[in-house]
Amino acid sequence: MINQQQLWDEEAAGQYDTPGEGMFSPEVLVPTVEVLSGLAAGGPAVEFAIGTGRVAIPLSEAGVPVSGIELSHAMISRLREKVGEDRIPVVQGDMSQARVDGEFSLAFLVFNTIANLLTQDEQIRCFENAARHLAPGGRFVIELWVPQLRLLPPGHGGTVEVSQPGYLLVDTYDVLRQHVISHHVHFSPELSDGREAKIGRTPHRYIWPSELDLMARVAGFQLESRWADWDRSEFTAESRSHVSVYRLNTR
């Protein structure tokens, strides 16, 4: 049994924020916030796995009332260093079960985080929990990567996803259980300094877009839109990720 609290501990939370760079760069956050703000349509939003507030804080600054659910105590502590409970209330718990008071026009789950739920049943329960939070006609937005099984060399079970100075990301696949382990290797680009590499590993359950759509239907949603990125670019067979917008059926 994977202990998610141990995975997302104080060390992980402390290293998560990269202000102005990577997933915290304006070219990532500006279109993300613009899309989510438009989909909220003037109503409140709830973020599943709110983390340290990477998206929630700028979305709140854009005028959208935001609440959140987060499993990791350490992530919530980092968020609280930035904003108080009065501005962005957070319920500590599992995003497939925890409930935030109120009714929302938008629920969202970004940066592949639904894959942290390691069984199909848990992932379906996440959709069902989103439905419980939404007003009729509300939207649930998921950002998720597309499994890159076509890149697996014959006889090998892994792919190199990122290779850059000081960092290597290798994904290894268990295709029977649809599990991926991401191996994050951090090291000094200079061989002469004698420092060893540091390795962190995170498990995921990958989901094909068609499977995700079926989970949505089970929970009472219909696919409304799918893009390759937050810039609303076309989703194609070559896309490495997608932003999917599901609309809750009216009762």
User: If the chain, 251 residues long, is cut into consecutive pieces of 10 residues, what is the mean pLDDT of each piece?
Assistant: 59 74 92 98 97 97 98 94 97 97 98 96 98 97 93 86 90 93 87 73 95 98 98 96 95 63
In the block, residue with structure tokens 């409304």:
224
Contact 191, 165 (CB under 8 A): no
- Other Cβ atoms less than 10 A from the Cβ of 109: the count is 25
In the block, residue with structure tokens 């070219």:
27
**pTM (predicted TM-score):** 0.91
Contact 169, 152 (CB under 8 A): no
Compute CA distances 117 → 156, 200, 216, whole Å: 25, 18, 15
DSSP state of 154: T
pLDDT at position 213 is 98
**Which token pair is 88?**
């962005």
Task: Tell me which CATH homologous superfamily contains domain 4-147+207-248.
Answer: Vaccinia Virus protein VP39 (3.40.50.150)
pLDDT digits (tens, 9 = 90+) for 47-80: 999 999 999 999 999 999 999 999 999 999 999 9
pLDDT at position 20 is 87
pLDDT digits (tens, 9 = 90+) for 160-196: 888 988 889 999 999 999 999 999 998 887 765 656 7
